[in-house]
Amino acid sequence: MSEYLFLTPIAIAILLGAMSPGPSFVLVSQVAMSTSRAAAITTSLGMGTGAATFALLAAAGLYFVLESVPVFYMALKIAGGIYLCYLAYKIWQNSNKPMEQSTTHSIYNTNPHKNHFRLFFIGFLTQLSNPKTAIVFASIFAAFLPENLPNYSYAFLVAVAFSMDAGWYCMLSVVLSTKKAQASYAKSKKVIDRIASSVMGLMGVKLITNP
């Protein structure tokens, strides 16, 4: 198995990237405190799937497509930024509702039978909202991949991306979905929601406007 040791620095780099504050952190934190542990973990699995998708696309050469077709890259950034601004608007809108209403009628909870799919999809789209992540993955791969890859390397890369990203956010979900954390959230729900909304919105605007 020594031929797969190159996966270790890649896993560390992906984990550190996941731990850096961003839209995914804001979303999972807000879901964990406002709904339930299961809801936050479902969202985290969507995040991990998004990271795995970026890893696969980066390995397949999406980086070169984004570099060679600036219009395509810009279109993805604008679409991602608009999506983050939409999430920011929904969180802000939900901040005015009492806790018992918000946990029933927020963007995270609609039809109970469809709720987990919706949460997964929201996490997945939030992860995909920033096409720069594909470039980050491509840079990590370029730095640590050996010249001659052993068999099944791409499958392992996708698995590592998923496990590092989803693992971090699942751990965050467990920490922030405790009764103590949720009680603290309930006391300052409006303030916390509006801070989360503002941060999410600023990230969306920054994604749209930055080159």
**How far is CA 33 from its chain centroid?**
17
Q: What are 3-35's pLDDT values in tens digits?
A: 888 889 999 999 998 888 888 999 999 899 988
Distance CA 166, CA 32 (A): 14
Determine the pLDDT at residue 105: 43
- In tens, the pLDDT along 52-103 reads 998 988 877 766 666 677 887 788 889 889 999 989 998 888 887 766 544 4
Q: Tokens in use for 40?
A: 């936050």
Is-contact 60 207, C-beta < 8 A? no
| 152: region left, alpha or beta (phi > 0 left; psi from -120 to 50 alpha) | left
pLDDT tens digits, 116-165? 888 999 999 999 988 878 778 888 887 888 877 788 888 899 999 999 99
Tell me the whole-structure pTM to 2 decimals.
0.84
SS3 111: coil
Give one word for 61, left, alpha or beta, with left for phi > 0 and alpha for psi -120 to 50.
Answer: left
Q: 146 burial class (0-12, 13-18, 19+ CB within 10 angstroms)?
A: exposed
